[in-house]
Amino acid sequence: MAQACTRVVYLGADGDVITARSMDWKVDVGTNLWVFPRGMARSGEAGPNSIKWTSKYGSVVASGYDISTTDGMNEAGLSANLLWLVESGYPTLDKSKPGLTIAAWAQYVLDNFATVQEAVDALRREPFTVVTDNVPGENRLATLHLSMSDASGDSAIVEYIGGKQVIHHDRKYQVMTNSPIFEEQLALNEYWKHIGGVVFLPGTNRSADRFARASFYINAIPKSQDPVHALASVFSVIRNASVPFGITTPDEPNISSTRWRTVADHRRKLYFFESALTPNTFWVDLKKLDFSPRAAVLKLDLGEDQRNVFAGEVAKDFKPSKPFQFLGLPASGD
């Protein structure tokens, strides 16, 4: 079972920035939406030597199996997305620095930073060691890379290759898919740029082909000043890079059905969610949420296969809930 996803950033008129992503997975990924306030005490959940922090920013996130943050946007307009990268190789956890479970990697970014630049500056200092764990229900490690985008249109991709952190930081890095590593994705995309997307684009569900299509379309769609048009265009691009529901390809481990899509409107602070199995797209207006330190953690129960139906703006539909526990190592180090 493999996860394959696409992430794309739209740079529109008058500083408009919208980030979209698809979540492709062979089984129900157990996703719900959560609201986390400021002031939450966090642990890296990596055994006795875990990084500790208190959230500076509130966020709305989409969980994976309710044991990890896979996607989300914080109240400052910073977005974080985790996608599968089978080539990932993480450093060995030792006593030289505290650990952070990969399940909380995206949440660490959303909790602590307002901009991509802030996040990159902090991550370059490598304040933690990322610790991976088995995918729930499977005998294999989660191998992920992280993308970030903010309200200014800045972007960064963070990968661990051969045990070393690699950061690609530039607003031109609008697209990320899965294999190969990001540096090689950029090289493959140069090939398609020379052919020209109007003439021919690769049409398969393979990661490199989705990268080429998303890269072409995200810059080919009109930069409308009408937010309804802009959002519609971005949704159409991420749908174009999605994998039809029910399709899996045994010989291509990075191809799975698209289960859901999110679209983060950074300037208007709107977070849209679309399940492959429901008729409606709905959204959360972050401006309607209470992120103050004493506010409750809230959950929107999306149901099995994200089949619960919602429509329009849903801030009122979230219910107070105990926060989920990030999957990690026992505190005792056993």
Cα distances (angstroms) measured from residue 262 to each of 44, 71, 194, 329: 26, 8, 30, 29
- Does 5 participate in catalysis according to the annotation? yes
Sign of CA dihedral 162, 142, 69, 228: positive
Strands 17-24 and 33-36: unpaired
Sign of CA dihedral 207, 141, 262, 71: negative
Q: What share of the chain is helix, strand, coil (3-state, %, to 5)?
A: 20, 30, 45
- Contact by Cβ (8 Å): 116, 156: yes
Locate 202 and state its tokens: 């690769």
Locate 224 and state its tokens: 């409308």
- Contact by Cβ (8 Å): 81, 147: yes
The H or E element that residue 98 is part of is none
Locate 175 and state its tokens: 């697209």
Single out the catalytic residue among 5, 102, 255, 263. Answer: 5
DSSP assignment, residue 286?
Answer: G
Q: How many CA atoms lie within 13 A of 93 on its CB side?
A: 22
Q: How far apart are CA 214 and CA 147, in angstroms?
A: 15
What amino acid positions are annotated as catalytic residues? 5
